[in-house]
Structure 1
Amino acid sequence: MAPPRREVKRSGSIVPCFLFVELGILGGTAALAYQLEFTDAFPVHEGGFFCRDPQYGRPYPGPPSSSRAPPALVYTLVTSVPVLTIVLGELLGQLRGGRGGRDPPIVWGECCYLRAPLRRLLRFLGVFSFGLLATAIFANAGQVVTGTPAPHFLTVCRPNYSALGCAPPTPNDPPHFVPPGGTPCAGDPPLVTAARRAFPCKEAALGAYAGVYAGLYVTLAWRGGGSRLAKPAAVLGFAAPPFLLGALRVAEHRHRWGDVLAGLAAGGGRRRLPDPLWTLQ
C-alpha cells in the first residue's frame, strides 16, 4: 500500500507579504529606533533643576563604554542569547520529534517550498525582533519626552551658580530653582544631553524584554522530558541578568532605582509568543 500523499498548500502572496509588508514594518521600526537613539531628530526635553541638588550631584562615572557592562556588550547579549536559544530549541525539537510536522509545506510559484519548521523559526525570530525594537523605541521616547536628569547631571552640567542667582545653601532658605530655558550648563553639550536621558533605563528594558521572551519560549515551546528543574533553572538564568544589570547602573551613578524599575516594567511586561502556540508544536 502506497504511503499517503502529504498535503501541500499553495500561496502566491506569502513571499511578497513577507518581503514588502513584514520586512517593511520591521525596517521602519528599526529606522525609528535609530533616529531616537543616534540622532537629534527628536530633541530631549530640557527641564529645570534645583541648585546643588544632592540627588543629581553624584560623580561622573565616565563614558558608557567605560562601564562594566558597556552598551555594545548589552546589545550583543540581548540580541544573541534569545536568538541562539530559539534556534537551538527548534533544532533540538526537529531532531527529537519533528516539531511542526503537522503543518503542510507552502509552495510559492512552481519552485519554492516554505516548510513548517522554517516558518516556525521565522515566526519566533520575527516577533522577537519587532518586540526588541519596539522596546527600544518606547524607552528612548520616554527618555526624550521626560528629560529626567541622571544622578551625575550637575557634575557634567557644571552650572555657574553665581550667574544663576544660586545663593549658598542655608538651613532656613529653600534651594533656588533654575527654570528651563537659556544656557544654564557650561559643560560639554553631548554629555549634558546624555545626562538628561535617565528615565526609563533603556538597558534594563532591553534586558528584561530579552529575558522574558527567552523564558517564555523555554517554558511554552520546549517539550518536556528529563529533569523537572531544567526549565525553572533556565528561566531563572534569563531573569537574573536584567536585574543585576539594573543594579550595576545604579551603583555606577548612571540611573536611579526608579529609572531601573520603570525600565524593567517596560521591558518585562506581558509578552506573547506567536499564536496559536499549540499549532507550532
Structure 2
Amino acid sequence: MARGRLNTKRSISIVPCFVFVEMVIMAGTVVLAYHFEYMDTFPTHIQGFFCYDSTYAKPYPGPEDTSRAPPVLVYSLVAAIPTVVILTGELTFFLWQSNWREEKTIVSGDCCYFNPLLRRIIRFLGVYSFGLFTTTIFANAGQVVTGSQTPHFLSVCRPNYTALGCQSPQQYVAEKQACTAGNPALVSAARKAFPSKDTALSAYAAVYTVMYITLVFKVKGSRLAKPSVCLLLLCPAFLVGVVRVAEFRNHWSDVLAGFLTGGAIATFLVVCILKNFHSHWALSGPLAPMGQLVSVPVVALPCIQSPLEKLSVVQNHRAAFADVT
C-alpha cells in the first residue's frame, strides 16, 4: 500500500483541461482545416498571367488520383508510419527500462488513472495530430492567399488569346473571366500551387518521426543504424516532391516551400512543445547492453564535437598541467 501511494499523484485539473481546453483547440483546428479544404469560405486570390507563358503551359497530368503518389497513399503513410513508430518506441522503452515504475501515476477522481505510458503516447500522438491539421491549414492558407498557378494552369484555363487581345508574350492578362472555357473545378485547383500541401504533410511526418527516433532511441555499438533508418523515412517525403514536379503538378519553389513549412512546424512542436520528447523519469534509467535498442533521455538537440573542439580541450589540459608544474 505504501508503494502504491508513493507512485500515485492526484490531479483534479488534468481531465477538465484535456476536455475543455485541448479538445476544444483540436476541434477548432479540425474545423478550420475542413473549411480551407472543402468549403469556399476563403476565396482564392486570382492572379493574372502573361500571354503564351510557357511556364504555365505544361500538359494537364490528369486527376490527382492518377498520380504516382496519389493523395490517398500519401495521407495513409503520413498517418500510419509515425503512429506505428511512436507506439513501437514507447512499448520498447517500457520493456527495456527497469525504473519507469518510479514515475507517478496520475489519479483524477475515483475512476481515471493515467500511467506514464498512456500519458506519453497520448501526448506524442496528440501533438502530432494537432501538427498535421496545422500543417494543412498553413498550406491551404498559403495557396488561398497567393493564388499561385500550377505548371499546367493554361492547359485547364484554355484562354482565348484572340478575345483577350494578346499581341505579344509580354502582355499581361489580369481579367478574371479569362478562363471561361475551362472547367471551373480544374481551374480553381490549378490556382492552388504554393506551397505544395502533399509535400508539406510528407515533410512534417518525416521530420517529426526522424526527430523522435533521433532524440529518444540510442543504438549501442553502431553509428549507421539510426542514420539509415532516418534517411529511409526521409526518402518518401523527398520522392513525393519529385513526383509533384515531374508530373507538372507543382513548381520546385512550391515543393521547397512545402518542405520548409512541414519541417518548421514539426521542429517547433518537438523542440518547444514536447521539449525534445524529454521525460523526467528517464533521467536515471540504466544503460542497456551493447547492441540493444533503448530509449535515452535527451534535454537538448544532439551535437557532434568537432576535431577543433577536441584539440582545444587537449590544449587546455596541457596548459593547466604546465601551470601546475
TM-score computed with the length of structure 1 as normaliser: 0.92
String of CA shifts for 1:240-279, please: whole Å, max 9, x gaps. 2111110110000000101101110111123343136142
Quick one: distance in 2 between partners of 1:132 and 1:207? 10
Quick one: distance in 2 between partners of 1:197 and 1:141? 10
Which residue of structure 1 aligns with residue 57 of structure 2?
57
SS of the residue aligned with 1:199? coil
CA contact (8 A) 1:156 1:187 kept: yes
One-letter amino acid of the structure 1 residue matched with residue 278 of structure 2: L
Offset at 1:94? 1.1
Quick one: distance in 2 between partners of 1:198 and 1:13? 44
Question: Unpaired segments of 5 or more residues in structure 1?
Answer: none
Say what the alpha-carbon RMSD is for the aligned residues.
1.8
Relative to structure 1, the CA distance from residue 165 to residue 93 in structure 2 (aligned partners, 3 Å threshold; closer, same or farther) is: same
Which of 155, 173, 177 matches 2:172? 177
Relative to structure 1, the CA distance from residue 58 to residue 19 in structure 2 (aligned partners, 3 Å threshold; closer, same or farther) is: same
One-letter amino acid of the structure 1 residue matched with residue 245 of structure 2: V
Offset at 1:78? 0.8
String of CA shifts for 1:121-166, please: whole Å, max 9, x gaps. 1110111111111111100000000000000000000011111111
Which residue of structure 2 aligns with residue 243 of structure 1?
238
Relative to structure 1, the CA distance from residue 99 to residue 223 in structure 2 (aligned partners, 3 Å threshold; closer, same or farther) is: farther
Quick one: distance in 2 between partners of 1:75 and 1:267? 14
152-161 vs 9-18, greater mean Cα deviation: 9-18
Quick one: distance in 2 between partners of 1:88 and 1:98? 17
Offset at 1:3? 6.1
Quick one: distance in 2 between partners of 1:155 and 1:213? 37
One-letter amino acid of the structure 2 residue matched with residue 279 of structure 1: H
Which of 233, 242, 250 matches 1:255? 250
Higher relative contact order (CA 8 A, sep 6+): 1
Question: Unpaired segments of 5 or more residues in structure 2?
Answer: 283-325
Give yes or no for the alignment of 1:95 onto 2:100: no
- Structure 1 or 2: more helix by fraction: 2
Offset at 1:4? 8.1
One-letter amino acid of the structure 2 residue matched with residue 234 of structure 1: V
Count of residue pairs brought into register by the alignment: 275
SS of the residue aligned with 1:162? helix
Which residue of structure 2 aligns with residue 141 of structure 1?
141
Which residue of structure 2 aligns with residue 227 of structure 1?
222
CA contact (8 A) 1:100 1:120 kept: no
Quick one: distance in 1 between partners of 2:18 and 2:100? 20
Which residue of structure 2 aligns with residue 277 of structure 1?
278
SS of the residue aligned with 2:110? coil
Q: Map residues 37-52 of structure 1 onto 2, 5 A cutoff.
A: 37-52=37-52
CA contact (8 A) 1:93 1:223 kept: no
Which residue of structure 2 aligns with residue 194 of structure 1?
189
Quick one: distance in 2 between partners of 1:272 and 1:134? 11
CA contact (8 A) 1:164 1:184 kept: no
String of CA shifts for 1:13-63, please: whole Å, max 9, x gaps. 211211221111111101111111111111111111111110000000000
Which residue of structure 1 aligns with residue 286 of structure 2?
none
Which residue of structure 1 aligns with residue 15 of structure 2?
15
CA contact (8 A) 2:164 2:178 kept: no
One-letter amino acid of the structure 2 residue matched with residue 133 of structure 1: F
Give yes or no for the alignment of 1:28 onto 2:28: yes
Quick one: distance in 1 between partners of 2:145 and 2:49? 16
CA contact (8 A) 2:157 2:178 kept: no
Relative to structure 1, the CA distance from residue 86 to residue 99 in structure 2 (aligned partners, 3 Å threshold; closer, same or farther) is: farther
One-letter amino acid of the structure 2 residue matched with residue 93 of structure 1: F
Quick one: distance in 2 between partners of 1:202 and 1:52? 27
TM-score computed with the length of structure 2 as normaliser: 0.80
183-192 vs 197-206, greater mean Cα deviation: 183-192
Quick one: distance in 1 between partners of 2:99 and 2:279? 11
Quick one: distance in 2 between partners of 1:72 and 1:9? 43
215-224 vs 134-143, greater mean Cα deviation: 215-224
Quick one: distance in 1 between partners of 2:66 and 2:33? 23
Relative to structure 1, the CA distance from residue 176 to residue 259 in structure 2 (aligned partners, 3 Å threshold; closer, same or farther) is: same
Quick one: distance in 2 between partners of 1:162 and 1:262? 35
Offset at 1:102? 3.4
Quick one: distance in 2 between partners of 1:180 and 1:101? 68
Offset at 1:215? 0.4
SS of the residue aligned with 1:163? helix
Relative to structure 1, the CA distance from residue 82 to residue 92 in structure 2 (aligned partners, 3 Å threshold; closer, same or farther) is: same
Which residue of structure 2 aligns with residue 267 of structure 1?
262
Quick one: distance in 1 between partners of 2:281 and 2:178? 57
One-letter amino acid of the structure 2 residue matched with residue 248 of structure 1: V
Q: Higher Cα Rg: structure 1 or 2?
A: 2
